Structure 1
């Protein structure tokens, strides 16, 4: 399929995605300007730090505690440790 055929066939969907991106970009710009984005980062950091300390206190290793803190704060990462049997 040629590029022009592709664009013609999916023109409506492409325009919809462009519009969605424009809305997201404007939302992010406003959140940065009004401080909402900063508050969200601060809250996420606070949640992660608290979870990290709680996991360490419960006897988990540093890597396990970090992984759990990230997961709890909504940060998707791969587990940086291997299970010990």
Structure 2
């Protein structure tokens, strides 16, 4: 029984840290990645890392206009921030 509980915790643990699901839209409807990043930079963001997540989000790591460290998940169709974490 303990092995079963331990195994279920190990299997479920990656799901606990997974990011949000941002869209189910076809990629042809998504904003261009480079143009999207340029738009954020023009708003004062500094992007250290940019990636597309398994949840179909544009995820950025970097700094906002106030120089706070941030991790933000964006809907790649609308550009809207779906989840924002201010790290400091």
TM-score, with length taken from structure 2 = 0.26
Structure with the greater relative contact order (CA < 8 A, sep ≥ 6): 1 or 2?
Answer: 2
Larger strand share, 1 or 2: 2
TM score, norm. by length of structure 1: 0.26
Bigger share in helix: 1
Rg larger for: 1
